[in-house]
Structure 1
Amino acid sequence: MKELKDQKLAALALLKPGIVDVFEKYKLDFCCRGKRTLEEACTQQGVELEVVLEELGTELKKNGQSKIDFGKLSPIELCNYIKAAHHTYVRQKLPGITAHTEKVALRHGDLYPELEVIAEKWKLVAEDLIAHMLKEEHILFPFVEKVQKCFDAGESFQLPEEEFISNPIREMENEHEHAGDLMAEIRELTGDYTPPEEACTTWRLLFSELKEFEEDLHRHVHLENFLLFPKALEMERAVFKSQKAVQN
């Protein structure tokens, strides 16, 4: 398994579902910082490389694959999957988690002021993700669909460079990083989502919900940053070359 140490986290995360579980366990960021090699990430996180390699090896030996081979999906298929799976999940979870952060902060914030900070940061996460998903669904994803249809048909389309897909993609990547940073701050404030012994049922439920939400966000961002965006950009470059050839 020594050869794994030089592979990038983003690529390793696609091999098997259990790989992501190992990364989550050791807090190895495979989405916003997925360009790092496994060895680099372990060093920066202060995690023993050999321990991680052993656990990754165990996961790779297990039978069973992901139900979906994301690497084989087209940009349009990835957009549809992200909307159906991750965007739907976010919209379903936001109201409940928001209600729980507010309830727990109101009831226990006097003795545990960090709960009020968590509620404030969660509100930012919720607001940012709602706006982010709308931009993707109404601007970026339709543009990706247009690019792929031109690519598949061998056609070109007239577009000034300042309107290229790379511009909204950069914005989406920046927003991914911001949301990831906010969730990392929440994780730190919760002590890795570990409630105190005296925590009430809602408090315990909240921390469980936040942990699940962050893990889904990691998978969500990973699919966009390291599969959807690169594939869309590659197609756009091909379409642009076709456009330039027509112009010449």
Structure 2
Amino acid sequence: MPVHPNTTLGDLVTEDPRRTRVLERFGLDYCCNGQRSLAEAAGAAGLAVDEVAGALDIPDPAPAPPWQHLENAALAHDIVDTHHAYLWEEMPRLQALVDKVHGVHGERHPELGRVQAAYTEAVADLEPHLTKEERVLFPAISRLEKAHAPVAFPFGSLANPIGQMMAEHDVVGELFKEIRSLTTGYAVPDDACNSYRAMLAGLEEMELDLHEHIHKENNVLFPRVLEMERRIVG
């Protein structure tokens, strides 16, 4: 079916994950701002909505990825196994690269100082964020799903930690947008060494993984959890 301009970016990606590449190409944020309609997002970016909609109308729809069929607690567990595990392993490796490249190339590329600062800030935000999800929010989701009855959580409604997690997603998303801008879309300079190239590739990979990660939480898991809580609590 043709892509409708009033469909949200999050729903468009959920319907067909291949659309992430199209939205990335147009610079449209489908994760932190996935609740915007296509028309709203395209208009804000100065893009022709018909052009974007046409590019999103990919023939032969891909089958839904397996994670979409998981229950809430299982989806949270899958996010931990897939995206959290990647970040815990990759963040320190990439931090060492960012520090090394800044030390070697910082004089010729002064923007690397801010790249280092932004990445370091992102990691400092992500580490406690992942821990809170793994130790507080996701176990609470599992507990409510198993109980099928109201649960007295110390933080009250699940909407409270979910709102906090979404706010933290916004912060990290903005930091990676800044890194992308500072590096001119992760473009490789002429004088870049192998470490410089590896740093840029690693930063871009992490940003793209974060987009998918945040999309799964903001646009799929969290709305489903809030709806589950509404049904149970009334």
- TM-score range for the pair, normalised by the shorter chain length: over 0.9
| Runs of at least 5 residues in structure 2 that lack an aligned partner in the other structure | none
Q: 1:106 to 1:157 in 2, by over 3 A?
A: closer
Aligned AA (2:27): K
- CA drift at 1:84: 0.5
**Contact 1:150–1:239, Cα closer than 8 Å, also in 2:** no
Residue correspondence of structure 1 range 123-138 to structure 2 within 5 A: 123-138=120-135
d(CA) in 2 for partners of 1:48 and 1:110? 41
Q: CA RMSD in A?
A: 1.7
Distance in structure 2 (CA, Å) of the matches to 1:166 and 1:69:
22
Say which of 65, 85, 90 aligns to 1:88.
85
TM-score (norm 2): 0.94
Partner of residue 158 from structure 2, selected from 157, 165, 181: 165
Unpaired runs of 5+ residues, structure 1, are: 242-248
Percent of pairs with identical residues: 34
Kindly indicate whether residue 54 of structure 2 is the aligned counterpart of residue 54 of structure 1: yes
Give SS of 1:31's match: coil
**What's the CA shift string for 1:49-76, capped at 9, x where partnerless?**
233222212x2x1364243151x32110
Distance 1:239 1:194 in 2: 50
Match for residue 245 of structure 1? none
Helix, strand or coil at the partner of 2:14: coil
Provide the rounded CA distance (Å) in 2 between the counterparts of 1:143 and 1:86: 19
Q: Does 1:148 align with 2:145?
A: yes
1:73 to 55, 70, 75: 70
Give distance in 2, aligned partners of 1:32 and 1:158.
29
Aligned partner of residue 86 in structure 1, secondary structure = helix
Contact in 1 for aligned 2:122/2:175 (Cα 8 Å): yes
Separation in 1, partners of 2:161, 2:32? 16
Q: CA deviation at 1:163?
A: 1.5
| Preserved contact between residue 31 and residue 215 of structure 2 (Cα < 8 Å) | yes
Q: 1:218 aligns with which of 203, 207, 211?
A: 211
Q: Which has the higher helix share?
A: 1
Answer whether contact 1:6 1:38 (CA < 8 A) is retained.
yes
Q: Which has the larger radius of gyration?
A: 1
Is 2-11 or 88-97 further displaced after alignment?
2-11
| Whole-Å separation in 2 of the counterparts to 1:52 and 1:158 | 45
